[in-house]
Amino acid sequence: MRTLNLQVQVTVDGFMAGPNGEMDWMTFPWTDDIGQYVTALSAPVDTILLGRKLAEGFIPHWAAHPDEPGADLFNNAPKVVFTKTLDASPWPNARLANGDLATEINALKSQPGGDLITYGGGTFVASLIRAGLIDNLHLFVNPAAIGNGMPVFGGLDTTQALTLMKAVAFDCGIVVLHYQPKRSE
């Protein structure tokens, strides 16, 4: 069974973007140690899952920057864009999924292949977390607090118990927290 990983940049107070989508709080440039972690996390990935809103910026950005680190994966891996508003994909190498979220994700997980990964989109990520569909959460905690914005865990209606698998501090000041959800048995 394939796993679904979340890789997301967050503030120390748990936001993935400011109230108007601001991301100027992110720490750059990254140091070699964090680059190595991300390379290892991405190595088994063969499919990227995105919500429509994120896809509208993510896919064109990487197509326009093919020489940046990570661009090979972002441009060449098949993408599945979850949407309720689009009828046809405007992007190459991306198909649309507009059925029930859990059904679509579980079908993808049951197919042969490498890992699945998603990078954010507040509404999409919150829906995935709420439905218990993410297998590994890699929260890249940046050394900044913004007080208000788009929460990673927005809209939860029940407690989401997590198990810490690893915590790694990087030279650039970012700390990654790798969690797995505690599943009921």
**pLDDT one-digit tens code per residue, 74-124:** 999 999 999 999 999 999 999 999 999 999 999 999 999 999 999 978 889
Q: Where are the domains of the chain?
A: 4-155
Residue type, 12: V
Vertex 88 angle, CA 85 and 92, to 5°: 125
Superfamily of domain covering 4-155: Dihydrofolate Reductase, subunit A (3.40.430.10)
Assign residue 173 a region: left if phi > 0, alpha if psi is -120 to 50, beta otherwise?
left
User: SS3 string of 126-156?
Assistant: HHHHHCCCCCEEEEEEECCCCCCCEECCCCC
What is the pTM (predicted TM-score) of this model? 0.94
Q: Is the pLDDT of residue 185 over 80?
A: no
